[in-house]
Amino acid sequence: MGSRFGGYEIPGDVFSSPCLVDDAIIVVGSMNNGIYALEGYNGNVRWKLETGGEVWSSPSYNGNEIFIGSDDGFLY
């Protein structure tokens, strides 16, 4: 089962809060070991990054970079 953001259903459950980047991109982590960046106005996938573990944490944006931790012990 997945979680729906806009018009896109993210594979795997999402337990973290999404992060809004530059008022246009929604970034969220998933239990299927993925980090997704979705265009906020249409839900299209801008990019996806596969991690080595489930992503429980919420992403953080400092105005320049996005940070998110994964159960594989790495910060992306």
Q: What is the pLDDT of residues 20-63, one digit of tens each?
A: 999 999 999 999 999 999 998 888 899 999 999 999 999 999 99
Is residue 1's pLDDT more than 70? no
DSSP at 64: S
* 75: in domain: no
For the cut 60, the answer to whether the pLDDT of residue 18 exceeds it is: yes
Number of domains in the chain: 1
Place of tokens 């979680």: 3
Pairwise CA distance, residues 63 & 13, whole Å: 27
Residue 5 has pLDDT above 90, yes or no: no
Closest Cα partner for 27 from 42, 15, 12, 17? 17
Residue 43: domain span = 3-63
pLDDT at 71 over 70: yes
20 lies in some domain: yes
Residue 7 within a domain:
yes
pLDDT at 43: 84
In a domain, residue 23? The reply is yes
What CATH number does the domain containing 8 carry? 2.40.128.630
